[in-house]
Amino acid sequence: MPDVRLWTGIAAIAVAILTATEFSVQVFVVGARPSLDDEVALVDFMTRTSDGTMFTILIDTLLMAALIVFLAGFRQLITHSEPALQWVADLAYGAGLVFVAVTLVGDAMEAGTALDVTGMTGDYSVLRALTVGHTILFGSIGCVLTALVAAASAYVTLGSEALPRWTGWLAYGVAILNLAAVPTMFGGTDPASFVAAGGAGTALFATFPWLVWVTAIGIVTVRDRRRPFDVPTERAVAAA
């Protein structure tokens, strides 16, 4: 039987590593996007960075695959410890899968911007429309779904004691910060603005806290994998 704790931890750490790698490629290889109102600069930017964009999307696709494994393992840890919480664990798992689907749609739209300039002159109106669309998917829509995953995960963590309680409170913090980032959808698309849709504010208040929580779960599950499988001591004694 596969070691659920081990594989959950490995998947979580893979998510953390891939997220950090994707962020590095986005910052140091792709760079900051010009204003969407500058037609010449936008087409030139998309043309120069098309390979980097496709590489980023490849990393993100692998990241989403690892996230599915993490979500499935996390759900199993909770339901094994406290079957009564299965519906909340299912809520976290389902919301996580929807988040993955939304992210992959956004990735496909972003890939469209790279393909539109491959071997041809990019169409400004197409590039702008695809960019605005995936910005909302990666931004506020993703924040709402992440908040739901984090809040449900926090509830089942505290209720099941399958993981340290501090990870549950950390998840609640992640949920609150992601909800705080949702209004950035009204912040426009200026890449220099901290509160722009999908901008630096979203990365700081939504993406980074989520990464911290996933990494924490990965470390905890790998470190504690040799303990009795997910049944709190007092509950095990009562059952005996």
Task: Tell me the pTM.
Answer: 0.89
Is 235 within the bounds of a domain?
A: no
Nearest to 83 by CA among 239, 215, 218: 239
Is 206 within the bounds of a domain?
A: yes
Nearest to 174 by CA among 198, 199, 142, 196: 142
Is 233 within the bounds of a domain?
A: no
Total domains in the chain come to 1
Is 68 within the bounds of a domain?
A: yes
Is 194 within the bounds of a domain?
A: yes
Is 23 within the bounds of a domain?
A: yes
Is 103 within the bounds of a domain?
A: yes
The confidence score (pLDDT) of residue 113 equals 94
Question: Residue 145's domain spans which residues?
Answer: 4-228
What interhelical angle do 50-81 and 86-116 show, nearest 10? 170
123-180 per-position pLDDT tens digit: 999 999 999 999 999 999 999 999 999 999 999 999 998 999 999 999 999 999 999 9
Is 240 within the bounds of a domain?
A: no
pLDDT band at 237 (very low <50, low <70, confident <90, very high): very low
